[in-house]
Structure 1
Amino acid sequence: MTRWMASWQSNCVRRFLPAVEETAEHTKLWWGAAVALSAAGRRGRRAAIAGLAGMAVAELASSCVLKHVWHRRRPPKEWISHEEVHDRPASSSFPSGHTAAGVGFSAAVASVWPWAGAVCAVPAVLVALERVHTGAHYPSDVAVGAVIGLGAAALVRRAPRLVGRLPR
């Protein structure tokens, strides 16, 4: 599947996915989405806060914990037939932190404002596709990143209830 996705030759894919990757670097895309949501009133601010919390928990779990527990090499460069193969990170391939952050943000936003979460899910899916297309990850890395993001969003959604139950 990695070889097949990396071989996509469409001009649209060649122009569009690198732009998606650039905006997703260092979570810029999700911070920008949070700013846009914040401008939409009280519900937007609540959604932005939930999204940033979901992204932070997902980033913490994927990049700070799991990447150090399981080391996995990136897909072989020979599988990638285009120039993006040289821009891959040196860290562990497992799991995809970009996907975890995008799904964590989108799913947490959806728990507050479903329509906005659906809109945010579109670039999250594109980021996941881009990570495999450029050879940065295997599809299983992206799938696990998505599960981490969903788990982070669920944790963020339950956090107020969990905190309320703690002894004072």
Structure 2
Amino acid sequence: MKILNLWLPRIVYCAYPALLAMLAIRRDGRFFKALLIPAAVFGTVTVVRKRWNLPRPYEKLGIEPLIPREKKGQSFPSRHVASVTIIAVACWYIWPPAGFAMSVIALLISVIRPLAGIHFPRDVAAGVAFSLLIGIIGFWLL
């Protein structure tokens, strides 16, 4: 679980700049949506986490997380999950096979974070729901 928690986000965070670079090199008009919509999700989730500052499971329940963490608060919504999910949505918009791969990674991260005691299920559910909502509106309805 520790290895997946470490490497899955790294895969996504390397693939996303590669996607943006490909779009930029090709002068693809979808570049700005692929850049700005995930940035808006990341920024919004960051602000919400700081404002609400909800405790993490290991703080509230007094448990030892399986993946050691020292961070306090800012549990809701999960920024890892929101970021990976919106990147998966962006990939679906650009190239569905990559979207599928990123969705599998997002699902795995969404399961790992609560199992490890880093987030409550509501934290990851909120991250997924927010990213899907903004992603669908931003990529397909606007």
Instruction: Please state which band the TM-score falls in when normalised by the shorter chain.
Output: 0.7 to 0.9
Q: What is the match of residue 114 of structure 2?
A: 132
Query: Which whole-Å CA distance do the structure 2 matches of 1:129 and 1:88 have between them?
Result: 20
Q: Is the 8 A contact 1:71 1:92 kept in 2?
A: yes
Q: What is the match of residue 59 of structure 1?
A: 42
CA root-mean-square deviation: 3.0
Deviation at 1:153, TM superposition (A): 1.4
Amino acid in the other structure paired with 1:22: L
**Mean CA deviation greater in 113-122 or 137-146:** 113-122
Q: What is the match of residue 143 of structure 1?
A: 125
Deviation at 1:145, TM superposition (A): 0.5
Identity %: 24
Deviation at 1:116, TM superposition (A): 1.6
Q: What is the match of residue 2 of structure 2?
A: 18
Q: Is the 8 A contact 1:31 1:52 kept in 2?
A: no
Check 1:96–1:81 CA distance in 2 against 1; reply closer, same or farther (3 A cut): closer
Q: Deviations over 1:70-91 (max 9, x none)?
A: 1211113544474x2x324223
**Where does structure 2 lack aligned partners over 5 or more consecutive residues?**
none
Q: What is the match of residue 72 of structure 1?
A: 54
- Which one has the largest radius of gyration? 1
Deviation at 1:105, TM superposition (A): 0.6
* Residues 6-155 of structure 1 aligned to structure 2 (within 5 Å): 17-23=1-7, 28-37=10-19, 42=26, 50-63=33-46, 65-76=47-58, 78-80=62-64, 82=66, 84=67, 86-155=68-137
Deviation at 1:150, TM superposition (A): 1.0
Q: Is the 8 A contact 1:106 1:121 kept in 2?
A: yes
Query: Which whole-Å CA distance do the structure 2 matches of 1:95 and 1:133 have between them?
Result: 16
Query: Which whole-Å CA distance do the structure 2 matches of 1:53 and 1:151 have between them?
Result: 15
Q: Is the 8 A contact 2:85 2:131 kept in 1?
A: yes
Q: Is the 8 A contact 1:71 1:93 kept in 2?
A: yes
Q: Deviations over 1:20-52 (max 9, x none)?
A: 322356xx433311255456995xx77776554
**Mean CA deviation greater in 45-54 or 65-74:** 45-54
Query: Which whole-Å CA distance do the structure 2 matches of 1:21 and 1:115 have between them?
Result: 23
Q: Is the 8 A contact 1:51 1:104 kept in 2?
A: no
Q: Deviations over 1:93-127 (max 9, x none)?
A: 11100000011110121123222211111111111
**Where does structure 1 lack aligned partners over 5 or more consecutive residues?**
1-16, 162-168
